[in-house]
């Protein structure tokens, strides 16, 4: 889950309580990232894909060659 930078601590909750409760209620493993961290991760992913010769569109989808 990507949340605004200023809402990260609220989404996680005190000692992770909010995210643990959400995971328990949904039955899903939930990872929470700030929007700036998610953007950095996407930039790194796209750079790796470009280095591997696999061009990507703005959504990280591989483009036909």
The domain locations on the chain are 2-51
**What's the pTM value of the predicted model, to 2 decimals?**
0.65
Buried b (16+ CB within 10 A) or exposed e, 40-57: eeeeeebeeeeeeeeebe
- What would the pLDDT profile of 13-60 be if each residue is shown by its tens digit? 999 999 999 999 999 999 999 999 999 998 888 888 777 776 666 666
Query: Phi-psi bin for 16: left (phi > 0), alpha (psi -120 to 50), beta?
Result: left
pLDDT at position 63 is: 62
């Amino acid at each position: 889950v990507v949340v605004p930078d200023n809402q990260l601590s609220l989404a996680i909750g005190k000692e992770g309580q909010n995210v643990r409760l959400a995971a328990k209620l949904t039955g899903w493993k939930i990872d929470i990232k700030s929007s700036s961290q998610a953007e950095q991760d996407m930039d790194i992913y796209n750079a790796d894909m470009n280095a591997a010769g696999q061009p990507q569109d703005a959504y990280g989808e591989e483009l036909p060659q």
